[in-house]
Structure formats: C-alpha cells, structure tokens
Amino acid sequence: MDDDPDVLRSFMRLLEEYADVKVALGAEAALKVLEQKAFDAVVVDFNMTGPNGAWLLRQVRDRYPNIERILLSGSSYSELSHFLDPGLVDRFLEKPLEVEELIEAVTGQEM
C-alpha cells in the first residue's frame, strides 16, 4: 500500500512472480482490498497522503491480527518509533531497499 502509483506498479511487477499481489492507492483503499480477500502479509509505506502507514497498520492489526505487517519508510525505525505501538510492525524495511529484501519480507524465503 502506497500513495504513489509508480511505486505500486513497481512493487506489483517485482512481487507477482512470488505471491498473489494486490495493490491499493492509500489507506482506505487498502482496507477495502483486505475486506475482499485473505492475505498473509501487508506491505505499507509510512508516508502516505491521508492516514499514514501506522494508522493503517493499527487497523490491520485490530481487524486481521494474523496478517504479517511490513512497514516501509525512507526514515529510520528510530525516527518513527514514537509513532509505532509496541508489536505494531512485524518487519521494518528502510528505503531505498534491495529487491531481494522486499521479496524475502513478503515470501519469508531467503533469496
């Protein structure tokens, strides 16, 4: 989930060979996608227009507690930690990131 269509297209192209991927432009759209289908993981950018990634991950945690929550950001985890509840993020990836990091985070398989 991101608010940049180019980023979403890139993620989809990278991940669709490894997982069933759906993308959403923003937090509210992401919640609608999650209502329609079960997923093993969500990948969320912290900085989105509208509600931020922490808000979305709280919604996901409360509604779908078994989904792995992966947060992406151009900021470090320590810079964002005051926005994040304990246990909110299962995995944090700092941008820019390597393609392999994203694939490993989503699939759980080392590349």
Q: What residues have CB less than 8 Å from 84, skipping those under 6 apart?
A: 54, 57, 71
- Render pLDDT for 57-67 as a digit per residue (tens, 0 to 9): 999 999 999 99
5-107, CATH topology level: Rossmann fold (3.40.50)
Structure confidence at residue 3 (pLDDT) = 61
Q: Mind giving me the DSSP string for the chain?
A: -BS-HHHHHHHHHHHTTTS-----BSHHHHHHHHHHS--SEEEEES--SSS-HHHHHHHHHHH-TTSEEEEEESS-HHHHGGGS-TTS-SEEEESS--HHHHHHHHH----
Structure confidence at residue 2 (pLDDT) = 53
Structure confidence at residue 30 (pLDDT) = 94
Average pLDDT, the chain: 90
For residues 22-44, average pLDDT: 93
d(CA 3, CA 68): 20
Residues paired with 69 in a beta bridge: 42
Band of pLDDT at residue 12, cut at 50, 70 and 90: confident
- Render pLDDT for 84-107 as a digit per residue (tens, 0 to 9): 999 999 999 998 888 889 899 998
Give 16 or 67, the one with higher predicted confidence. 67
The CB density around residue 96, as the number of other CB atoms within 10 Å, is 7
Structure confidence at residue 51 (pLDDT) = 94
